[in-house]
Amino acid sequence: MKKELLFSGIGGQGVITLGETLCDAAIKAGYNVTFVPFYGQEKRGGRTMCNIVISDGIESPIISEADIMLIFDDRSLGDYQGLVSPNGKLIINSSMVSVEENVPDTVDVRKVPFNDVAVEAGNPKTANVVAMGYIAKLLPEVPFELIQEFVEKSFAAKPKLIPVNIKALSMGYEL
C-alpha cells in the first residue's frame, strides 16, 4: 500500500497541523510515513503545503502524483492541481475556493464547504479538523479512532477545545 497526499492552504488554516496529526496516526497504525512541510516566506498569510507519503515500505518523501490532494485556497489550486494523479481525488474547500479549471476529467473533484461545517460544529477555527475527518474516510488504512486519539492529544493543553474538535472531526467524517 502506498498513498501520496498533498495538502495546501494559507498559513493559519491548520494545513501543517492536519498533516502532522494524520502522520502520527498512520505511524501508530504501523505504516512508514514521510512528512515534508513547505512554508511561504511571508510572515503571515503565506502559503503552506505538505507532502505526505504513507506506505508499507520506504518511499521518497516527495510525491510524484497525489492520490489525495486537499486545497484550501484559490492560489494553491492553481499552483498544485497539476500534481494530482489522473485517477486521484482533488478535495477543494468550497467555502474558500471559487475557481476550478484545467482539471482532467478523470480526477474525482469533491467540493466540500469545510469552513461552513466548522461554523456549524461550533468553532470556525476547526475547518482543518473537519477536513481531517473527511480525509480519514478516504484513508481506511488509518483507523478513525487513531486519528481521533491524536486530535485529542494535540489539544491536551487546552482541554476545553477537545469536544468541539472531536465534533468537527466526526462531522467531517460523516460528510
Domain ranges of the chain: 2-174
**Does residue 87 come out as left (phi exceeding 0), alpha (psi in the -120 to 50 range) or beta?**
alpha
pLDDT along the chain (175 residues), means of 10: 94 90 96 91 79 90 92 90 94 87 85 96 96 96 95 92 96 96
In this structure, what C-alpha cell is assigned to residue 169? 472531526
Using CA atoms, how far apart are residues 67 and 1, in angstroms rounded to an integer?
12
Across the beta sheet with 47-55, the strand order is 32-39, 47-55, 2-10, 66-71, 84-93, 108-112
Q: Which CATH architecture has domain 2-174?
A: 3-Layer(aba) Sandwich (3.40)
Identify the residue whose cell numbers are 482543518: 128
Using CA atoms, how far apart are residues 117 and 171, in angstroms rounded to an integer?
8
pTM of the model: 0.92
